[in-house]
């Protein structure tokens, strides 16, 4: 397919239900930031080459000045140390592939009378890097990912960091979210939610050494936070007279998310509870042990008492008292920062540029906001040009082939996708989604035209699909889609699978205990294949972990159908 049309075709496929009228609307387009690798190197219009650095956990691609690059890497290293000061290493998930970081440096350009950044990047405090203080937040970095690979990209025009006030955190929310078994919702909210203890972390150097600075707690709204601060000050004047504060019962807080008007209170209280447990309960290790077990079994008051040595009522009393202190008290935690890395940036290869920026274009081009139609098309076309230039050289790098194969799936060129993914997986590439999507692709292509159930797959195809899924399981992180594809393969197996063959599905339920949809899917499969008792057990276990009314309703509907 001609290069000029590939991005447009993929965009149409992704937009699906959008009307032609919406597609034709005039939109303001940001000038694409990425400059594709040229035949003689990877220099763009600025004349500066893409620079590349690989350090543990990260690949960095930069068009920024050397001084900025050094400051960024140091801040990244300090951010990792701060993360480990907050929670132990076992609390952070692991990725099979490093997080990619793209740094670029281009001035805003006038468009329709407004000065804009060269690329339309929306900043979100919850899922993006947090860059320093004040004007440095103008860099607006954004993180995109598809479960096993994450790419952080930002424009750092006119940013001049110093080692004392530059802070970077691109991975905390990601690593907490991918950890298996998954943490309960209240803990994730309490750490990286909008009011979480790590929501706006800033690492700063002080005369006494490096510290993790956690600002005072936030309550439901700014006005409510200020009101609590005033009450705390009044209590101090009155000799410490205790103030009352309405909280959700601790059992309600720990049972899952709360909908409606109480959602803000649940979020604020989750953050307060985590803050208290980690730093003010006097039993940090007991709190950590409680969180660890709560990711595996349903939370009960007995479990709480086992680790915290308190009843719900006793802990609630402490939490209420602590709220008035927390809104006035920043936390300063020592951080053990290692020596600066010795690795140096080098010129990036065109394959590295294509692999990382092409993958970014694929992920960014998936969005379906009609206001960004033309911009998304630019991202996809850029990815296409980068991939095609390298693939024309018959590139055999497994990581590049995996990225290219995933792009071709989105482009709906399944023949090229399968060829690239088969080459990548045959080379034992470390990228779990490559194996998962190849398994899904082979299953779709084999079942094309007929799907009757047991007997649809022959033994060869069935075995190869299960082998691919098995490899996905062995790499990190755990991907939810793996277990859905397993379930679908079992539905069309050459012969009716036995329970011993399908126990792998319960591994998925253990890793994703709060995912009611997966439990529903597995229970439905068990019931259909004639294993009603196992189906009932799956639903009953999932009901204990359900974290929302929607999930409980879904599981109740299954139970009401009768497992007979």
- Kindly report, residue by residue over 377-420, the tens digit of the pLDDT: 888 888 999 999 999 999 999 999 999 999 999 999 999 999 99
Q: Is the pLDDT of residue 231 over 60?
A: yes
- Integer Cα distance of 237 and 219 in angstroms: 22
Q: Is the pLDDT of residue 2 over 70?
A: no
**In Å, how far are 486, 504, 506, 540 from 501, measured between CA atoms?**
10, 7, 11, 21
| Greatest CA separation for the chain | 80
Are 461 and 442 in contact by the 8 Å Cβ rule? The answer is yes
Q: Is the pLDDT of residue 326 over 80?
A: yes
Are 199 and 281 in contact by the 8 Å Cβ rule? The answer is no
Query: Average pLDDT, stretch 122-133?
Result: 38
Pairing of strands 58-62, 99-104: parallel
CB count, 10 Å around CB of 263?
A: 12
Assign residue 17 a region (left: φ > 0; alpha: ψ between -120 and 50; beta: otherwise): alpha
CB proximity list for 293: less than 8 A, separation 6 or greater: 303, 307
Q: What is the pLDDT of residue 132?
A: 44
- Reference 372, options 3, 34, 100, 122; nearest CA is 122
- Domain limits, the chain: 51-214, 222-329, 431-564
Q: What is the pLDDT of residue 493?
A: 96
**In Å, how far are 66, 487, 505 from 452, measured between CA atoms?**
60, 15, 22
**Can you count the helices (H) and strands (E) in the chain?**
23, 11
Query: What are 268-314's pLDDT values in tens digits?
Result: 999 999 999 999 999 999 999 999 999 999 999 999 999 999 999 99
Q: Is the pLDDT of residue 564 over 60?
A: no
Angle at 148 between CA 362 and CA 168, to 5 degrees: 85
- Reference 185, options 539, 432, 484, 516; nearest CA is 516
Sign of the dihedral defined by the CA atoms of residues 333, 334, 339, 340, in that order: positive
Assigned superfamily of 431-564: Tetratricopeptide repeat domain (1.25.40.10)
Query: Average pLDDT, stretch 26-32?
Result: 32
Check residues 146 and 370 and name the one with the higher pLDDT: 146
SS3 category, 302: helix
H-assigned helices in 134-221: 172-178, 185-192
Query: Average pLDDT, stretch 145-159?
Result: 87
Gyration radius from the chain CA atoms: 26
Query: Average pLDDT, stretch 477-503?
Result: 96
Tokens of 389: 């230039």
Phi, psi of 110 (to 5 degrees): -75, 125
- Reference 90, options 169, 183, 201; nearest CA is 183
Report the share of the chain in percent with pLDDT over 70: 80
Lowest-confidence pick of 13-27, 274-288, 337-351, 427-441:
13-27
Check residues 317 and 106 and name the one with the higher pLDDT: 317
CB proximity list for 544: less than 8 A, separation 6 or greater: 298
How confident is residue 23, by pLDDT bands cut at 50, 70 and 90? very low
- Total number of residues shown for the chain: 564
- Reference 411, options 2, 8, 4; nearest CA is 8
Tell how far CA 448 is from the center of its chain.
32
- Integer Cα distance of 520 and 507 in angstroms: 14
- Reference 404, options 443, 356, 348; nearest CA is 356
Most confident of 27-41, 192-206, 272-286: 272-286
- Integer Cα distance of 555 and 280 in angstroms: 38
Q: Is the pLDDT of residue 129 over 70?
A: no
- Integer Cα distance of 149 and 151 in angstroms: 7
CB proximity list for 58: less than 8 A, separation 6 or greater: 76, 98, 99, 100, 101
């Amino acid at each position: 397919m001609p290069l000029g049309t590939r991005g447009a075709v993929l965009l149409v496929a992704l937009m699906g239900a959008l009307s032609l009228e919406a597609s034709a609307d005039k939109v303001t387009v940001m000038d694409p930031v990425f400059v594709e690798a040229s035949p003689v190197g990877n220099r763009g219009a600025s004349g500066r080459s893409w620079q590349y650095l690989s350090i543990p956990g990260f690949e960095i691609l930069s068009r920024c000045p050397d001084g900025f690059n050094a400051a960024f890497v140091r801040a990244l290293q300090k951010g990792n140390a701060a993360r480990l000061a907050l929670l132990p290493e076992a609390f952070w998930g692991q990725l099979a592939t490093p997080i990619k970081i793209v740094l670029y440096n281009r001035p805003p350009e006038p468009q329709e009378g407004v000065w804009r950044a060269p690329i339309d990047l929306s900043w979100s405090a919850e899922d993006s890097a947090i860059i320093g203080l004040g004007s440095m937040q103008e860099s607006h970095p954004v993180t995109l990912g598809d479960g096993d690979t994450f790419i952080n990209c930002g424009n750092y025009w006119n940013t001049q960091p110093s080692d004392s006030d530059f802070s970077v955190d691109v991975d905390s929310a990601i690593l907490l979210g991918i950890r298996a078994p998954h943490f309960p919702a209240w803990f994730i909210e309490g750490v990286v939610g909008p009011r979480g203890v790590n929501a706006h972390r800033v690492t700063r150097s002080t005369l006494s050494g490096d510290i993790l600075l956690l600002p005072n707690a936030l309550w439901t709204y700014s006005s409510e936070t200020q009101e609590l601060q005033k009450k705390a000050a009044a209590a101090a004047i009155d000799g410490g007279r205790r103030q009352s504060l309405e909280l959700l019962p601790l059992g309600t807080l720990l049972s899952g998310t709360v909908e409606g008007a109480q959602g803000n209170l649940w979020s604020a209280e989750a953050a307060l509870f985590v803050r208290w447990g980690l730093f003010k309960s006097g039993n940090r290790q007991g709190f950590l042990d409680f969180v660890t077990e709560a990711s595996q079994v349903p939370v009960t008051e007995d479990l709480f008492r086992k680790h915290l040595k308190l009843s719900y009522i006793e802990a609630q009393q402490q939490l209420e008292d602590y709220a008035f202190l927390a809104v006035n008290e920043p936390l300063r935690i020592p951080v053990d920062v290692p020596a600066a890395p010795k690795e140096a940036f080098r010129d990036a290869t065109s394959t590295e540029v294509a692999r990382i920026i092409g993958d970014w274009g694929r992920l960014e081009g998936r969005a379906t906001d009609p206001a960004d139609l033309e911009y998304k098309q630019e991202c996809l076309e850029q990815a296409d040009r980068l991939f095609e230039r390298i693939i024309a050289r018959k590139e055999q790098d497994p990581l590049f082939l995996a990225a290219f194969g995933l792009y071709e799936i989105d482009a709906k060129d399944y023949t090229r996708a399968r060829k690239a993914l088969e080459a990548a997986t045959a080379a034992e590439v470390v990228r779990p989604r490559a194996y998962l999507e190849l398994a899904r692709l082979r299953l779709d292509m084999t079942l094309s035209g007929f799907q009757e159930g047991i007997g649809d797959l022959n033994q060869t195809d069935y075995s190869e699909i299960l082998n691919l899924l098995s490899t996905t399981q062995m790499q990190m992180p755990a991907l939810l889609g793996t277990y859905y594809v397993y379930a679908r393969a079992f539905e069309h197996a050459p012969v009716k699978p036995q329970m011993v063959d399908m126990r792998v599905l319960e591994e998925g339920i253990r890793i994703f205990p709060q995912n009611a949809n997966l439990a529903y899917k597995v229970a439905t499969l068990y019931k259909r294949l004639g294993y009603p008792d196992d189906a009932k057990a799956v639903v009953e276990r999932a009901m204990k972990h359900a974290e929302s009314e929607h999930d409980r309703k879904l599981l109740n509907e299954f139970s009401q159908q009768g497992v007979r």
